[in-house]
Chains A and B, each alone.
Chain A
Amino acid sequence: MKKLTIPEEEYMLSGHTACLGCGATIAMRYVLKALGKNTILSIPACCWAVIPGVYPHRNLEVPLLYTAFEVTGAAISGIREALDALGKEDVNVVGFAGDGGTADIGLQALSAAAERGHNVFYIMYDNEAYMNTGIQRSGSTPMGAWTTTTPGGKKRMYKWEPKKNVAEIMVAHHIPYVATATIAYPEDMISKLRRAKEIKGPKFFQILSPCPTGWRYSPDKTVEVSRLAVQTNIFPLYEVINGKYKISIKPKNPKPVKEYLRLQGRFRHLTEEEIAMIQKHVDENWKALLKKERCSQEEE
Chain B
Amino acid sequence: MRMILTGNESAAWGARLSRPKVIAAYPITPQTSIIETIAAFIANGEMDARYIRVESEHSAMAACIAAQNTGVRTYTATSAHGLALMHEVLMWASGARLPIVMSVVNRAMAPPWSVWTDQLDTMAERDSGWIQVYTQNNQEVLDSIIMSYKIAEKHNILMPTMVIEDAFILSHTSEGVDVPDQKDVDDFLGEYNPAFKLDPDEPAGFGSLIMPEGPYMEFRYKMALAMEEARKEIKKVVEEYNEKFNRNYSPFIEEYRTEDADAVMVVLGTIGSTAKDVVDRMREKGKKVGVARVRYFRPFPMDEMRALAKKTDMIGVVDRSYSFGPGADLYAETKSVLYGHANIPVKNYVMGLGGRDITPQILEKVFNDMLTIAKEGVVDREVEWVGLQGDERWS
Contacts and interface: CB of A to CB of B under 8 A. Distances in A.
A50 interface: yes
Interface string B48-84: 0110111110111011111111111010000000000
Contacts of B69: 65, 78-79
A40 B207 contact: no
B62 A71 contact: yes
A66 B205 contact: yes
Given A74-B59, A77-B66, A112-B55, A66 B50 contact: no
A78 B199 contact: no
A68 B59 CA distance: 11
Contacts of B59: 71, 73-74, 77, 108-109, 112
Interface stretch (B209-217, B277-285, B318-326): B209-217
A55 B204 CA distance: 11
Given A40-B200, A66-B205, A68-B62, A79 B211 contact: no
B92 interface: yes
Contacts of A74: 24, 54, 58-60, 62-63, 66
Interface string B69-111: 1111010000000000000110010000000000000000000
Interface stretch (A81-89, A148-156, A216-224, A274-282): A81-89
Contacts of B358: none
Interface stretch (A56-64, A175-183, A253-261, A284-292): A56-64
A227 to B, nearest CB: 32
Given A75-B62, A82-B71, A63 B204 contact: yes
B205 A82 contact: no
A73 B24 CA distance: 13
A78 B65 contact: yes
A3 to B, nearest CB: 29
A112 B200 CA distance: 26
Contact of A78 (B56, B64, B214): B64
A191 interface: no
A200 B198 CA distance: 21
B207 A62 contact: no
B22 interface: yes
Contacts of A67: 62, 65-66, 92, 207
B287 interface: no
Interface in A13-57: 37-40, 42, 49-50, 52-55
Taking residues whose C-beta sits less than 8 angstroms from the other chain, chain B's interface range is 35 or more
A63 B199 contact: yes
B39 to A, nearest CB: 14
A84 B214 contact: no
Given A74-B59, A81-B52, A85-B21, A53 B208 contact: yes
A116 B67 contact: no
B22 A81 contact: yes
A65 B55 contact: no
Contacts of B21: 82, 85-86
Nearest to B24: A78
Given A38-B200, A63-B198, A82 B208 contact: no
B70 A79 contact: yes
B172 to A, nearest CB: 28
Nearest to A49: B209
Given A71-B59, A78-B24, A78-B66, A85 B205 contact: no
A109 B85 CA distance: 14
Contacts of B56: 108-109, 112
A237 interface: no
A70 interface: yes
Nearest to B51: A81
A79 B67 contact: yes
A81 to B, nearest CB: 4
A58 B203 CA distance: 10
Interface in B165-199: 198-199
Contacts of A270: none
Contacts of A58: 205, 208
Contact of A54 (B70, B89, B198, B208): B208
B333 to A, nearest CB: 29
From A39, A58, A71, A73, name the one whose CB has the most chain B CB atoms within 10 angstroms: A71
B113 interface: no
A63 B210 contact: no
Given A42-B66, A74-B62, A78-B24, A68 B92 contact: yes
A111 B56 CA distance: 12
Given A65-B198, A82-B67, A112-B55, A60 B205 contact: yes
B89 to A, nearest CB: 6
Interface of A: 37-40, 42, 49-50, 52-55, 58, 60-68, 70-71, 73-79, 81-86, 91, 108-109, 111-112, 116
Closest 4 CB pairs of A and B: A78-B66, A112-B55, A66-B207, A82-B70
Given A65-B198, A74-B63, A78-B68, 8 more contacts: A55-B211, A55-B214, A62-B203, A65-B205, A77-B59, A78-B65, A109-B62, A112-B55
11 contacts: A54-B214, A55-B209, A63-B205, A64-B198, A68-B62, A71-B59, A74-B63, A82-B72, A83-B70, A86-B21, A108-B59
